[in-house]
A and B are shown apart, each in its own frame.
Chain A
Amino acid sequence: MNQESYLRWISSLEKGGKILEDSQREAKQSLEKIGFPKKSAEKWRYTNLNRLENILKLPINTSKESLILKINSEVLNENYKLPNGIEKINNDELIAYLSNQTILNTSYENFLTNLNHATNHKIIALKIKSDKMINLEIVIKNLKQHLTPSKILILVEKNAKLDILQIIQGSSSSSHSNLIEIYLDENSKVNHSFIAIGSELSSLLGTVSIKQEENSSYSLSSFQQGWYLSHIDQNIFQVKGNAKSTIKSLTISQKDQQLATHSYIKFNGPNGSVKQVNKSIIEDNSQSIFNGLIDVPKIAQKTNASQLSKNLLLSEKGRVHTSPQLKIVADDVKCNHGATISQLEEEQIFYLNSRGINRNEANLLLIKGFCKEIIDNFPINSTKWSHLSKYLKKNK
């Protein structure tokens, strides 16, 4: 995209409501500074930038209908009274928060975050106070031929607990810019399930930004399939270390889709841990991209980190780009990382065949087996979305 039309696009963006006005103005300035992504940046190296450009050509969806919120399985509307332990963040607080919105204090290039803030008209902002587990379900729908921006901000207070299931749906040439920020205060616990399923020419630009205080525990189970173009950032920042993070992701790419996951995990103190597994299944002539960086500075002694990228390549024309990286300055840490790319093993297939299981069924069993580790993590209520993807069906 040339600079001129990019700048024209930025200035054409409509103003959001008065709460979002300031953050939007700042984001527009940042977007101008950052410029449209270029291949020369490692993060965008393999991205089909034409597809990214096409997203910016779509009109912005400003309707509020695209966000459905359920708390403990009840649909929330304007008049609904929130149950104990969960509150809306009031406007003043929200403005204060948004003016200081660098949830991740990093120099990580944040085109996606700024794009979200610049286009956004909708924000869900909640505070979780209860130490009883609260179940939150957020469904983000698409509008055809539109870019739908959405932002979710959740502050989880000390000792509070939250289960959150986030569903993002896409269909014919619709796009999403989604940003979810979760702040975990001391001793809090969050299980986050992120399920993003597109179809046809739909695209997804998503960011999951997590900030963890000491003794908090955050677990992300992520699933994505069916996007013409997807680019998901998973960022975790352990403010003082001493917290626990888990990320398990599964990506299924088919046809000529291009699905990407970029993760950045930073320990800003000692005794933190992260366990990350990123799995991909690549079919047809699709592409799967994984870029992971774990940042362990000097202050983060006794960090325990593992990062694994496992890829199952099911076709000759599929492509995998995977780069799990560790940046370690601290000297007393346990860190490991690795990547594998494999096909279905003939030996395993013959073993199953010799037990009367035909080739198709054997392939299915092996593929399900590959996914199991990730799918098992999803809560039971995720299975109601399994009509969107057979991979979400639990083995029984």
Chain B
Amino acid sequence: MDSNKLILEIRNLYAGIDEKNILNGINLKINEGEIHAIMGKNGSGKSTLSKIIAGDPSYSITSGEIFFKHKNIKDLEPEIRSNIGIFLGFQYPIEIPGVKNIDFLRVSVNARRKQLKESELDTFEFEAFIEEQLEIVKMDKAFLERGVNQGFSGGEKKRNEILQMALLKPDIAFLDETDSGLDIDALRIIASGINKLHTPKKSIVLITHYQRLLNEIEPDFVHVMHNGQIVRTGKKDLAIELEKNGYEGLALNNTGK
């Protein structure tokens, strides 16, 4: 990257849930426009890291800092983090019966627009706006009229997540196992959607188990997490090596413990 403009920096982050340590000293720097992939076994702390960055109150940070555009966001409410441009694509998107998807999306978009000092969209303006975005994930309009994620299949939920990313235009998006539970066609649609949303200004962090997503979306860096630390960082070939030899083959050891 030419500009090397730092967008997110995680410094020596220790965190956990209910007295249980999960992250044991994470260090990570992400520049504008970069695509990072974080891989690792179940329980290595990948999802926890993304939830902590989004501000999930069920986790607590014991030490370390998180800087977004050079501002410490550690103590910001999750809605503020979203408003300033941080997005988390959920591994298991939550169903909210009774709340119409389109109403939810509009409230969410208007909260972000307010932060960007753009005018809020009324229902008609929003309908026109969302129609273009639906195309990105090839989502049927009918899903807008249903309850949020209510009765959606796994693949439909993931499309709805990427649709939200398209609508909110975040500066950095953490996508937690966006590829899990997708068949190959759905994976291609979602991957192509993510590629369309990626610009030289927008950064993306893909959290995944499998290399197949990385065949569709080319990462600049690949990190391997183990026991709450990033133990290896490399380029795309690291993912290929992982696919071939498995995590055991990497002879992982924790350096920081």
A366 near B96: Cβ-Cβ < 8 Å: yes
Known: A350-B57, A365-B107. A358 touches B79 (CB 8 A): yes
Bound state CA distance, A354 and B164, in angstroms?
Answer: 11
B111 at the interface (CB under 8 A from A): yes
- For B78, the chain A residues whose CB sits under 8 A away are 350, 353-354
B54 near A356: Cβ-Cβ < 8 Å: no
Known: A353-B77, A353-B82. A346 touches B58 (CB 8 A): yes
- For A359, the chain B residues whose CB sits under 8 A away are 77, 79
- For A346, the chain B residues whose CB sits under 8 A away are 57-58
A354 near B99: Cβ-Cβ < 8 Å: no
B156 at the interface (CB under 8 A from A): no
- For B111, the chain A residues whose CB sits under 8 A away are 355-358
B90 at the interface (CB under 8 A from A): yes
A351 near B108: Cβ-Cβ < 8 Å: no
- For A101, the chain B residues whose CB sits under 8 A away are none
B90 near A356: Cβ-Cβ < 8 Å: no
A interface footprint on B82-125 (CB within 8 Å = 1, 0 otherwise): 11000010100110111110011001100110010000000100
A interface footprint on B45-58 (CB within 8 Å = 1, 0 otherwise): 00000000011111
Min C-beta distance of B5 to chain A, whole Å: 24
Interface centre among B54, B77, B79, B108 (most CB of A within 10 A): B79
A348 at the interface (CB under 8 A from B): yes
CB closest residue in chain B, given A350 = B56
- For B88, the chain A residues whose CB sits under 8 A away are 354
Interface centre among B56, B81, B93, B96 (most CB of A within 10 A): B96
Bound state CA distance, A355 and B87, in angstroms?
Answer: 8
Tally of chain B residues near chain A (CB < 8 A)? 31
Min C-beta distance of A370 to chain B, whole Å: 6
Name the prevailing secondary structure of the A interface residues: helix
- For A372, the chain B residues whose CB sits under 8 A away are 98-100
Min C-beta distance of A335 to chain B, whole Å: 24
Question: Which of B93, B107, B147 has a CB less than 8 Å from the CB of A369?
Answer: B147
Min C-beta distance of B257 to chain A, whole Å: 30
A355 near B96: Cβ-Cβ < 8 Å: no
A351 near B90: Cβ-Cβ < 8 Å: yes
B123 near A396: Cβ-Cβ < 8 Å: yes
Known: A366-B96, A368-B98, A369-B147. A357 touches B55 (CB 8 A): no
Bound state CA distance, A359 and B88, in angstroms?
Answer: 18
- For A358, the chain B residues whose CB sits under 8 A away are 77, 79, 111
- For B103, the chain A residues whose CB sits under 8 A away are 365, 395
B interface footprint on A345-381 (CB within 8 Å = 1, 0 otherwise): 0111011111111110100011011111100000000
Known: A358-B77, A361-B107. A353 touches B55 (CB 8 A): yes
Known: A355-B168, A358-B77. A347 touches B82 (CB 8 A): no
- For A366, the chain B residues whose CB sits under 8 A away are 96, 98-99
Bound state CA distance, A355 and B168, in angstroms?
Answer: 8
Min C-beta distance of B186 to chain A, whole Å: 22
- For A395, the chain B residues whose CB sits under 8 A away are 100, 103
A355 near B104: Cβ-Cβ < 8 Å: yes
B82 near A354: Cβ-Cβ < 8 Å: yes
**Among all A-B residue pairs, the 4 with the closest Cβ atoms:** A369-B98, A356-B111, A356-B82, A369-B99
Question: Which A positions have Cβ atoms within 8 angstroms of B?
Answer: 346-348, 350-359, 361, 365-366, 368-373, 395-396
Provide 17 A-B residue pairs closer than 8 Å at the C-beta atoms, listed in order of the A residue.
A348-B96, A350-B57, A351-B93, A354-B78, A354-B79, A355-B82, A355-B164, A356-B82, A356-B83, A356-B108, A357-B108, A365-B96, A368-B99, A369-B97, A369-B98, A372-B99, A395-B100
A368-B99, A395-B100, A396-B123 are known; give 12 further A-B pairs, CB within 8 A: A348-B94, A350-B56, A353-B77, A353-B78, A353-B79, A358-B79, A358-B111, A359-B77, A365-B104, A366-B98, A368-B98, A372-B100
Question: Which B positions have Cβ atoms within 8 angstroms of A?
Answer: 54-58, 77-79, 81-83, 88, 90, 93-94, 96-100, 103-104, 107-108, 111-112, 115, 123, 147, 164, 168
